Amino acid sequence: AQSVAQPEDQVNVAEGNPLTVKCTYSVSGNPYLFWYVQYPNRGLQFLLKYITGDNLVKGSYGFEAEFNKSQTSFHLKKPSALVSDSALYFCAVRDFNNNDMRFGAGTRLTVKP
């Protein structure tokens, strides 16, 4: 069965610095990978997804993610963090063998001024 791991519960970065939120996955087929963000008192907002093609995927709010098949990773990145990026980030995966979307436990990102 497919699964997702977000190894860090919490990530702290200073405003203006680059940020990375890590995600690794396990699937039996080709993975379809998603990143969502949850701001306080809001629902999950879609950031980006990888389906096929270019390993570097660009998404909303200046975020991007790099698909690495050999390392089974899909880390979320942003070159310069903003305080407003502070939120809870979820990585998710689907594959051909399973209809449901599997989520990681989430990573809380805090960007300090």
The site for other proteins (CB under 8 A) is made up of 4, 32, 34, 36, 41-46, 49, 51, 90, 92, 94-96, 99-106
Tokens encoding 83: 């305080």
Cβ distance 74 to 3 under 8 Å? Answer: no
Q: How far is the CB of 100 from other proteins (least distance, A)?
A: 4
Q: How far is the CB of 46 from other proteins (least distance, A)?
A: 5
Of residues 78 and 94, the one with the C-beta less far from other proteins? 94
Q: How far is the CB of 56 from other proteins (least distance, A)?
A: 18
> Which residues face 36 on adjacent strands?
46, 90
Of residues 11 and 106, the one with the C-beta less far from other proteins? 106
Of residues 59 and 81, the one with the C-beta less far from other proteins? 59
**How many CB atoms within 10 Å of residue 30?**
10
